Amino acid sequence: MWKTALLVVCFACAAQAADVCDPVRFGGAYAFQLSGMTTIGGPPQPTVSIGRIVFDGGKITGTSSATFSGLLLGNPVNGTYEAHPDCTLTWQLQDDSGAYQHFTGKLSADAARIPFRQTDPGGTSGTMQRTAANCSSTDLKRNYEYTVAGAMKAMNPGEDGRSVSARGMLDTARGGDFKVDADCSVHFTLALPDGATKMRGFLVNDGKEVLGFQTDPGAMVSVRLVAK
């Protein structure tokens, strides 16, 4: 009897895994964060990108924003993707300049998380997580642990560039000036040792995490919030 039950459970697990990686079933909204050093466009320099894209029947629509050379760039994007039975995923995005970027990743067992890398020469790596179709301030959790890392570029004569690194706890009911938009994007501030910084990101994992970056001029800084 126990062997029979175990076999039934195992078959159910196998069927569930097959459904997750079934290319026909894959789709929905995901938010991503990509950060690291890149040589795209010249010498190595830090960069951070965030965005929200929707996978639907082989097509992609959404938005992507990047901090590059201390400037904040944002574009609507569209593209195509291929999902494979082995849980790998490949996709390409085109911005309004006509340029393409190419990526590859692999779905987690529950299809909620996709570690990925940009396959263009000089590209870096990132993570993508499922996000809701719609969000509101009620999706925010009360307490988050935050991690901030990256670099500030000198934007004016006499300024010095510097690295940025910080960790801490944030009570959303007491600070941060959080604003959540319907597309699950969230705007907030963090009080860091160098002063208040403006951040933007996306709620993922049912509001338990935020993937984002700093929007102040010169910032190439990533931020991740994890509910505690």
In a domain, 6, yes or no: no
Q: Is residue 15 assigned to a domain? A: no
Domain that holds residue 99: 28-130
The answer to whether residues 119 and 147 belong to one domain is: no
Tell me whether residue 17 is in a domain: no
Alpha-carbon span 216 to 207, nearest angstrom: 24
Q: Which residue has the higher pLDDT, 42 or 103?
A: 103
Domain count of the fold of the chain: 2
Judgement on whether residues 148 and 72 belong to the same structural domain of the protein: no
For residues 99 and 188, membership in a common domain is answered with no
Q: What is the pLDDT of residues 126-165, one digit of tens each?
A: 999 999 999 999 999 999 999 999 999 887 777 778 899 9
Assign 17 a pLDDT band (cuts: 50, 70, 90).
very low
Residue after which a domain boundary falls, among 102, 130, 158: 130
CATH number at 112 reads 2.40.128.120
Q: Identify whether residues 72 and 154 lie together within a single domain.
A: no
Cα–Cα dist 76/83, whole Å: 22
The answer to whether residues 125 and 150 belong to one domain is no
What is the per-residue DSSP string for 34-74? Answer: EEEEE-TTSS-EEEEEEEEEEEETTEEEEEEEEEETTEEEE
Entry pTM: 0.87
pLDDT > 70 in the chain, percent: 91
Within this chain, do residues 122 and 162 fall inside the same structural domain, yes or no?
no
Any domain includes 16: no
Q: Are residues 126 and 32 part of one domain?
A: yes
Q: Are residues 101 and 146 in the same domain?
A: no
Q: Are 25 and 129 in contact (CB under 8 A)?
A: no
Whether 205 contacts 31, CB under 8 Å? no
Per-residue pLDDT at 175 exceeds 50: yes
What residue type is assigned to position 160 of the chain? D
Task: Tell me: do 192 and 212 sit in the same domain.
Answer: yes
> pLDDT tens digit string along 34-43?
999 888 877 8
> Which CATH number fits the domain that encloses residue 173?
2.40.128
Would you call 14 helix, strand, or coil by DSSP?
Answer: helix
pLDDT digits (tens, 9 = 90+) for 20-67: 588 888 999 999 999 998 888 778 888 999 999 999 999 999 999 998
- Pair 126, 143 in one domain: no
Last residue of a domain, one of 71, 101, 130: 130
Same domain, 176 and 102: no
Same structural domain, 167 and 119: no
